[in-house]
Structure 1
């Protein structure tokens, strides 16, 4: 058991203001289940300025929060050395950083945050890498197997401004995907509503359905190969697994997609060295939350994806 056995009094800074008390406690009390957080709020054990509050209470600068002692079961942790190696590797993935934002080229196979049995994700790694940073939060997410650009806010004001850009669709994200077959040049947009299902295993599966949420992705052919096409995919909406399901809906699933892919297509790529989902967030265009400057950041492909393209080009040239 892990015990925080003393009452804590936390003074709310400008950066922490504006968030709900339940979300604040979830971030502060790592590993404490949501149900316990709501219980201690409901029982009045959490107080703000000595008064009881509801879970939706929004914190203001200068508030003093009383946090009671809590006990949580410890999770199976990875050896410290393995974690340190991952943290060190993340340091080499940083593409851009200033006092408001941090941009990382996320490796494939790393989750954006711990959870569902994982104690380590990108955000935990960055917090370990930047212990002095009082605030580090993901602006958006990437699937675990997708590599590429991930934007992190270092100030709450930056997070709010960037979330507003996402809401107003003012942020442009471009991905590169290797898909099955010969993508039709006239297929420039896929608009197909997406419905998310959670299986009993907790796995998320998304499918096209009239009951789903409106979803749109724009496509452009970048390069053609024998039996495969490299496309640029630019999602207009940001649904779970959107590009993966939209390419499948268009009849061109992505290489090595273990959920929506085609095993036969994957086997045609043997000899290219590819063993992972070929989906990479390659470019992000947004307005800097502090300077107002237009930023365009690009993330290079990793060695495995580059090697795969090299082999496919060689095969095409030998025809």
Structure 2
């Protein structure tokens, strides 16, 4: 192991636009993700002499204080397993010199760490070694599948992040939920607060006092006995937003082990569901290079489509 001293890092155009946690993971190679978040929480990392949150996007001219850390000696990177390589290559929905959109598989985290050998970003960096600036534009929960956007150039990352801040990136999800849905459409505005347990697990709850504003619009697509297929449109992008909003209005998502209903989950398992029924079905944004409108769709995975077919059969009988 080697130890580095305190460093002052002036953010240039080459680094600007990245989330602070992602930047630290890249410049502090070998430091565990858990330690990165520890030094952020403790204030050992400073941005312009002040504390900053992991999701802060660093800007040109920012001065970062990077504390001394012990890092692992360089070693040969692990080789991406062949099955994962093939799975990700076949999941690419769109790719050019600036943007890559993936149909993210359920069960694969966007980042490695916490016992996970591979995340989406680490795997794709090995698959695309020429894309030296490959970064996640946004995130999806580990168990959620569907459209995930990555940038291949720093300029594209900045443009897409600005589009998200301006509400110009539209995301639609499909969710199978418990209960009889009464309205064709329903708008849910409930502030959410994120908590991290001692175990490191993230939990989110409705908190009208200290929570951040969150808005989800739901549209009924299909009725089933005791269940409903909904389309969810996000006006904000809080952690676990759809899942917690649906839990709060007593229509939790099928297969949700964290916020769901145990009896409903058991019933869905008996029909073959082995995952969370939440899928990012489409995304719209303006291409950062030529300003062309992009509308990319991710087909519903076979296991989710199969469950819907079984529920349709139940409805007829």
| Length-normalised TM-score, structure 1 | 0.81
| Residue 133 of structure 1: aligned partner | 131
Q: Quick check: 1:21–1:59 contact (8 Å CA) kept in 2?
A: no
Q: 1:269 to 1:294 in 2, by over 3 A?
A: same
| Residue 173 of structure 2: aligned partner | 175
1:20 and 1:220 map into 2 onto residues whose CA distance is 32
Q: Which runs of 5+ in 2 are unaligned?
A: 5-10, 53-57
Give the count of matched residue pairs. 291
Matched, 1:297 2:296: yes
State the superposition RMSD in angstroms: 3.3
Report how far residue 255 of structure 1 moved: 0.3
Report how far residue 171 of structure 1 moved: 0.9
1:114-263 aligned at under 5 Å gives the runs 114-185=112-183, 187-211=185-209, 212-263=211-262
Q: 1:307 to 1:19 in 2, by over 3 A?
A: closer
1:269 aligned counterpart, secondary structure: helix
Cα shift readout 1:169-188 (whole Å, capped 9, x = no counterpart)? 11110000000011121551
Cα shift readout 1:243-266 (whole Å, capped 9, x = no counterpart)? 001111111000010100001112
Report how far residue 58 of structure 1 moved: 6.2
Matched, 1:283 2:279: no
2:198 and 2:250 map into 1 onto residues whose CA distance is 28
Q: 1:290 to 1:223 in 2, by over 3 A?
A: same
1:52-67 aligned at under 5 Å gives the runs none
Q: Quick check: 2:215–2:234 contact (8 Å CA) kept in 1?
A: yes
Report how far residue 73 of structure 1 moved: 3.8
Q: Quick check: 1:25–1:37 contact (8 Å CA) kept in 2?
A: no
Q: Quick check: 1:179–1:230 contact (8 Å CA) kept in 2?
A: yes
Report how far residue 72 of structure 1 moved: 2.5
Q: Which has the larger radius of gyration?
A: 1
1:21 and 1:257 map into 2 onto residues whose CA distance is 30
1:31 and 1:87 map into 2 onto residues whose CA distance is 23
Matched, 1:101 2:99: yes
Q: 1:130 to 1:271 in 2, by over 3 A?
A: same
Q: Quick check: 1:21–1:58 contact (8 Å CA) kept in 2?
A: no
Q: 1:218 to 1:198 in 2, by over 3 A?
A: same
Q: 1:4 to 1:206 in 2, by over 3 A?
A: closer
| Length-normalised TM-score, structure 2 | 0.81
Q: Quick check: 1:19–1:59 contact (8 Å CA) kept in 2?
A: no
1:130 and 1:146 map into 2 onto residues whose CA distance is 23
Report how far residue 273 of structure 1 moved: 1.3
2:280 and 2:166 map into 1 onto residues whose CA distance is 20
Report how far residue 86 of structure 1 moved: 1.4
Q: 1:117 to 1:84 in 2, by over 3 A?
A: same
1:36 and 1:270 map into 2 onto residues whose CA distance is 37
1:251 and 1:189 map into 2 onto residues whose CA distance is 14
Q: 1:87 to 1:316 in 2, by over 3 A?
A: same
Report how far residue 229 of structure 1 moved: 0.2
| Residue 85 of structure 1: aligned partner | 83
Q: 1:54 to 1:206 in 2, by over 3 A?
A: closer
Q: Which runs of 5+ in 1 are unaligned?
A: 6-11, 43-52, 61-66
